[in-house]
């Protein structure tokens, strides 16, 4: 996919609108997507807490701020997401802080399940993993690249989990491994304090921009 339709960007949400949508859905006993099970609602509530915390505590590093000063071409980060996604709750508030730090970068969000054609153009190892950032350059919405769904270190934790899961047959053991992995990833995010998200997103932003210029 070389460009994103103008209609998609017109329909895409600003960060505040995305947060508002989640609150409205939860007030109605729902989340985004079609699965409104208790588990998905609980994940969404955890994510609301995480995003509230990150909105208050995220501080951009000096390296991030210095890099953003060098961004001269208007860019857009179009993000595929869902309210129940734990990694999205860790990543998107940081993206919002990054976008707020420069007039040349904007953040827009769309729901994965409402845009399957776009999602399927940016799969991760064949899966519809989110969040997925699509970098767009200029008014023509040229796709320069993508990043996601999570920092490299967390992606390795998830890949190790999937490998171990294939060796298990007992359902209780599978659930225990899932819970252990979720706890491990959340502890990693807490220790990292958004530094890896910032550095990887900034690196991807500039790498893709430079590649397009060549």
Per-domain boundaries in the chain: 6-150+204-213
List CB contacts of 186: < 8 A, sequence separation 6 or more: 86
Architecture of the domain delimited by 6-150+204-213: 3-Layer(aba) Sandwich (3.40)
Which regions of 9-90 does DSSP assign to beta strands (E)?
A: 75-81
Q: Looking at residue 213, what is its pLDDT?
A: 53
Q: Looking at residue 210, what is its pLDDT?
A: 56
Q: What distance lies between CA 68 and its chain's CA centroid?
A: 19
Q: How many CB atoms lie within 10 A of CB 199?
A: 15
Estimate the crossing angle of helix 152-165 against helix 171-192, to 10 degrees: 170
Q: Looking at residue 138, what is its pLDDT?
A: 82
Q: Looking at residue 214, what is its pLDDT?
A: 47
List CB contacts of 102: < 8 A, sequence separation 6 or more: 68, 69, 71
pLDDT tens, N- to C-terminus, the chain (214 residues) = 788 999 999 999 999 999 999 999 999 999 999 999 999 999 999 999 999 999 999 999 999 999 999 999 999 999 999 999 999 999 999 999 999 999 999 999 999 999 999 999 999 999 999 999 999 998 778 999 999 999 999 999 999 999 999 999 999 999 999 999 999 999 999 999 999 999 999 999 988 555 445 4
């Amino acid at each position: 996919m070389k460009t994103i339709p103008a209609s998609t960007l017109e329909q895409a949400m600003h960060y505040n609108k995305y947060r508002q949508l989640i609150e409205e859905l939860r007030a109605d006993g729902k989340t985004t997507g079609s699965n409104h099970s208790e588990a998905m609602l609980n994940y969404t509530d955890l994510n609301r807490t995480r995003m509230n915390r990150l909105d208050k505590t995220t501080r951009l590093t000096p390296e991030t701020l210095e890099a953003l000063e060098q961004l001269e071409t208007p860019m857009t980060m179009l993000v595929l997401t869902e309210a129940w996604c734990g990694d999205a709750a860790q990543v998107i508030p940081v993206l919002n802080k990054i976008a707020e730090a420069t007039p040349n970068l904007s953040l827009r969000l769309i729901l994965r399940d409402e845009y399957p054609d776009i999602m399927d153009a940016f799969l991760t190892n064949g899966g519809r993993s989110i969040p997925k950032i699509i970098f767009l350059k200029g008014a023509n919405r040229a796709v320069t690249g993508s990043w996601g769904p999570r920092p490299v270190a967390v992606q390795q934790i998830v890949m190790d989990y999937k490998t171990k899961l294939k060796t298990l047959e007992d359902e209780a053991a599978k659930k225990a491994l899932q819970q252990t992995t979720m706890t491990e990833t959340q502890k990693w995010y807490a220790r990292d304090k958004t530094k890896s998200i910032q550095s990887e997103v900034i690196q991807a932003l500039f790498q893709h921009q430079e590649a397009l210029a060549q």
